[in-house]
Structure 1
Amino acid sequence: MPDLRFTAKTAAQTEIPRPKRGEGQWALGYTEPLNKNEQSKKDDDPLNVRDRILYTYSKRGFDSIDPADLRGRFRWMGLYTQRKPGIDGGKTGALEEEELDDRFFMMRIRTDGALLSPEAIRALGGISTDFARGTADITDRQNIQLHWVEIEKVPEIWERLEAVGLDTIEACGDSPRPFLGSPVAGVAKDEIIDGTPAMVEIKRRFLNNPEFSNFPRKFKTSVSGHPSLDGAPEVNDVAFVGVEHPEHGPGFDLWVGGGLSTNPMFAQRLGVWIPIDEVPDVWAGVASIFRDYGYRRLRSKARLKFLVADWGNDKFREVLENEYLERKLLSNPSPEAATRPGDHIGVHEQKDGKFYIGLAPVVGRVNGALLTGLADLLEQYGAAGARLTSYQKLVVLGVEADQVDALVADLETIGLQANPSNWRRSTMACTGIEFCKLAIVETKQRAADLIASLEQRLPDLDVPITVNVNGCPNSCARSQVADIGLKGQLVLDDDGRQVEGFQVHLGGGIGEITRFGRKLRAHKVTSAGLDDYVETVVRNYLRDRTAGESFADWIEHADEALLRGDKALEVARS
């Protein structure tokens, strides 16, 4: 545990009330661990597990791993055990974690908004092929996620990653999770400010740092100066959002306390102006508040969003300024909404006259061969590299104008489309029951099948409609903020059998609108009936909308019967 900067007296001076019962807030004197997670972190800084992986576990094998490391500290190295095959969703919450464990690992490789060189992408492809049975998913946190990784192979994987400037450190755990950045940072014509230098400095100073390795829970960061809000700032713990000041020019607003899962909350906009060279210090201030004042007693209340909700914007800003930054922040209006979609799909001219190309795999699922092929094409066409997006997509940057058409055609041959259908462009899915121990239903393949079906049923959709498919309530694919959000659960079909299905959220969004999806009472859809249900609701929208009305706006006033879909569908009613 790092030395605490603040005592109960300091807290009293800033008018922070002491809770009637301890919530495990260090700054208020509650330093004794209140649950097994906190005890594990106190027993040993999770960063120390790296050496045990390198010098003990990788040499002695899976059975040598201390359970406290396996199901706890390994996360700080980007490693989770994956789900044992053959365990159905009904057993997810009934079995102990060790009963769900396979002897293989999911590995998250963080990119932190960096431009990936052809060499880096080729290294990712080779690692996938050689050590992960070809698996690779682009996540909505700009990670590459692998599966089937064996503990014996981890040191070589790390060595290959480090050779191209990549790592897995603190990709999971109660730590500074991978940062989201704009995939078009430094090249977009309409960019307000390039946040890359700030992210690089935050990572240099605070990642793999014991002072910031023990938060109450995960801590998610977004830094983007693009007006599309392409770093999903609304749902991050801390977000720096590009903004203009009338006197001082481009800088960043500060948003805090966003997060989804079972208690979704949008980030609060503090309405400030921060110059780029002060962003790392402000990040450290917010992170320190979370470390020192965050709730550690209950894991279910341990995210920053709960502290922000209890304190309010004024108190949070006061503590940040007075106790951590020791200076006032300059007030400035916050951006109201995104100016355009933030997925960057398609061909766009850069400010230097070259072009970037936004590409859509199917729900982020790629593989080692595809990544290797992408690296070959980047080299062949002289592109600068690629970045991953917050929407399970990727963007190729630095393409000469006379090379664009040929490169787009060649990229499509390896499975990356620059002109995808709405359904391929606008559908995301989490890992699901295939590999995830928390999942209840299958997601990746189900979402891919849904895309293929809707491309046949509704091929000429004239407006964007997003579909986010989640395997459990944790909302890793943001089910509450999609036009059609699907939260996996077990439901009853028309014959009373328990089957895979989804709770439906309708009309949510972030970016151009910020709204949680509407839930219909006792309305759930079976996985088997999903294609019919989505088609029916979208056709109802197309028939009932007013001119220029978006799907999300239509949901706000549509008759509930139109949202429930055809009664002949397999809809479970409780």
Structure 2
Amino acid sequence: MTTTTIRDAAPAQRAATQAAGVEKRPARAKKSEGQWKLDGREPLNGDERIKQEDGGLSARQRVIDIYSKQGFSSIPAEDLAPRFKWLGLYTQRRQDLGGELTGQLENSELQDEFFMMRVRFDGGRVTPQQLRTVGEISRDYARSTADFTDRQNIQLHWIRIEDVPAIWDKLEVNGLSTLLGCGDVPRVILGSPVAGVAADEIIDATPAIDEIVANYLPREEFHNLPRKFKTAISGNARQDVTHEIQDISFIGSVHPEFGPGFECYVGGGLSTNPMLARSLGAWVPLERVPEVWAGVARIFRDYGFRRLRNRARLKFLVAQWGIEKFREVLETEYLDAPLIDGPHVPENPGARDHLGLHKQKDGRFYLGVKPTVGHATGEQLIAIADVAERFGIERLRTTPDKELLFLDIEPGDVEPLSAALDETGLYSKPSEFRRGIVSCTGLEFCKLAHVTTKARAIELVDDLEERVGDLDVPIRISLNGCPNSCARTQVADIGFKGQTVTDDEGNRVEGFQVHLGGALGLHPDWGRKLRGHKVTSAEVGNYVVRLVTKYKKQRTEGEQFREWVLRAEEADLQ
């Protein structure tokens, strides 16, 4: 009855509309999202065209044969960006262009004739000899720059195209690579830095990481995804790989019938549209992790959105489909057998980092130390390798919190090793401010940045230690140069998102939008953004001191900083 009434009324409505002089427009056809399985493979933007014409890794031989001999000016634009990303290379920002020009100039105008180079450490695994190798490359080719990243890599800067083949040769001889360090590919696989040794480990994920790296990453089928694909796999009870913000992640889970395995999450990510990953509701045994990983990567390849680059992440597909449909497609189209339903693993309420001294399950120890905001020099990396070798350490690990871990320490070596590392500029017992500070590359090298971050973060820690001393609770402070959240602004206790702001005298200067009370782990949340509240770069130190001082005065017994932020009056947060 209702349907008939609506249909009968339609002609009268159209007549009334036409009589009023307004012609109702037909509904627009839905635009293609560029999903290969639904829309075909016709490229819908320049990046997709370039990738289809010639894969990113094809540029490697041209670097060796042509560009390294003829110089920067010989590199065509389509190799420079995007194909060089597949080689782990980005052009860095010109030093004479301020943040006010970000977004105003084209990428080709912002870029310098030098590169950032990203060295992969899948699972965060590195030997002293490999660290020494990176240190020597930094010293000899990268103006002694070296930054640990939150993806367990090391990044170098000031790389000349003429030096790239020699650098690759030196890396490859020592079992290292820059390939697939960037680009629309599976990025470095995050892993627990204490896999196989931690006393609190549920299951060692190392075999799964090794299988993916050795037998899946080299396959061409994974070298043209819609955009980056971020993976984390950890069987540690600390859930130490930020699984909530990865495209795909596996964390340790114990099935009541089948024992230790993993819970799988998909569709997480930050940037300008942050989304928390969602659990598939499945328990995955260790031997099926690579298969499930490959199935999810193939879904992204075939169904991921390719028309608009800012929607070409797995999180948007998961949001559109919902987790039930996603799992159904995964099981019916991409896996050999359905997944086993499994228990949901509760969030670990404790610290996730590995700083300080911890006992291994074999009776030895591991020690986590902190380079401030992950920054180091080539000479410092060489000195660290020297210390490790002096104490017989053969296994080092990088972490998603930009720490460096030393495994397999004999009990009698703990104190002298700690003292030796302190002498290299590492911190075995950092303040909570130094422990929790995070920064992106910022204006110094990044073409997307509006403000300087890394140098400012180092200055901020020194300032806070001098003026406040220390805190008795964890506090994570993030400085990000742009809205893309490489430093995880939305999940920090105090997050600063870089932008150009107006100071009290009407000048346009570097500054930050303030974001407070975000978190991962127990009760993950984006926190609260203070409406209209911005601080200039010069005010950051005073603002944090003021905020922390009010927290110390107003907190209740046992109240964490984030908990106070979420209940505090807005005036107290200004």
TM range (shorter): over 0.9
Question: What is residue 267 of structure 1 aligned with on the other side?
Answer: 277
Structure 1 residue 287 and structure 2 residue 297: aligned?
Answer: yes
Q: How far is the alpha carbon of 1:55 from its aligned partner?
A: 1.5
Map of 2:490 onto structure 1: 480
Whichever residue aligns with residue 77 of structure 1, its letter is L
CA contact (8 A) 2:124 2:152 kept: no
TM-score, length basis structure 2: 0.94
Q: Counterpart in 2 of 1:318?
A: 328
What SS class does the counterpart of residue 375 from structure 1 fall into?
A: helix
TM-score, structure 1 length as denominator?
0.94
Whole-Å separation in 1 of the counterparts to 2:349 and 2:122: 24
Q: Is 2:49 the counterpart of 1:39?
A: yes
Aligned to 1:139: 149
CA-to-aligned-CA distance 1:329-387 (integer Å, 9 cap, x gap): 11112222124212100011111111111001110001111110111111100113211
Measured in 1, the distance between the counterparts of 2:219 and 2:288 equals: 19
Partner of 1:8: none
1:435 aligns with 2:484: no
CA distance in 2, matches of 1:52, 1:247: 54
The root-mean-square deviation of aligned C-alpha atoms, in Å, is 1.0
Q: Which of 412, 423, 430 is equivalent to 2:422?
A: 412
SS state at 2:263 partner: strand
Tell me the equivalent position of 1:381: 391
**Structure 1 residue identity aligned to 2:218:** N
Residues 255 and 270, structure 1, Cα contact 8 Å, conserved in 2: yes
List alignment gaps of at least 5 residues for structure 1: 1-18, 565-574
Question: Tell me, what secondary structure is at the counterpart of 1:261?
Answer: coil
Structure 2: how far apart are the matches of 1:422 and 1:549?
16
2:529 alignment counterpart? 519
Residue in 2 that maps onto 1:555: 565
CA apart distance, 1:206 = 1.9
Aligned with 2:338 (options 322, 328, 343): 328
Which deviates more from structure 2 when the two are superposed, residues 548-557 or residues 246-255? 548-557
Q: Distance in 1 between matches of 2:565 and 2:124?
A: 37
CA separation in 2, counterparts of 1:208 and 1:170?
9
Among candidates 238, 253, 258, match of residue 248 of structure 2: 238
Looking at structure 1, the residues matched to 349 and 537 of structure 2 have their Cα atoms a distance apart, in angstroms, of 35
SS in 2 for 1:490: strand
Cα distance, 1:57 vs. partner? 1.1
Q: 1:10-409 maps to which residues of 2 (within 5 A)?
A: 20-409=30-419
After superposing on structure 2, the runs of 4+ consecutive aligned residues of structure 1 that deviate more than 2 Å are: none
Cα distance in 1, alignment partners of residues 429 and 213 from structure 2? 34
The SS at the match of 1:74 is helix
Q: Quote the residue 1:569 is aligned against.
A: none
- Alpha-carbon distance between aligned partners in 2 of 1:444 and 1:476, rounded to the nearest angstrom: 12
Structure 1 contact 131–148 (Cα < 8 Å) conserved: yes
Q: What amino acid sits opposite 1:487 in the alignment?
A: K
Indicate the residue corresponding to 1:9 in structure 2.
none
SS in 2 for 1:495: coil
Instruction: Give the Cα–Cα distance (whole angstroms) in 2 for the partners of residues 163 and 512 of structure 1.
Output: 43
Q: 1:460 to 1:370 in 2, by over 3 A?
A: same
- How far the C-alpha of 1:114 sits from its partner, in A, is 4.3
Q: 1:423-462 residue pairs with structure 2 within 5 A?
A: 423-462=433-472
| SS in structure 2 at match of 1:462 | coil
**Contact kept in structure 2, 1:230 and 1:511, CA below 8 Å:** no
Q: Please tell me the residue identity of whatever aligns with 1:200.
A: D
Which structure would you say has the larger Rg?
A: 2
CA contact (8 A) 1:473 1:488 kept: yes
CA contact 1:227–1:339 (8 Å) conserved in 2: no
Aligned mates of 1:414, 1:511 — CA distance in 2? 32
How far, CA to CA, are the matches of 1:73 and 1:359 in structure 2? Answer: 36
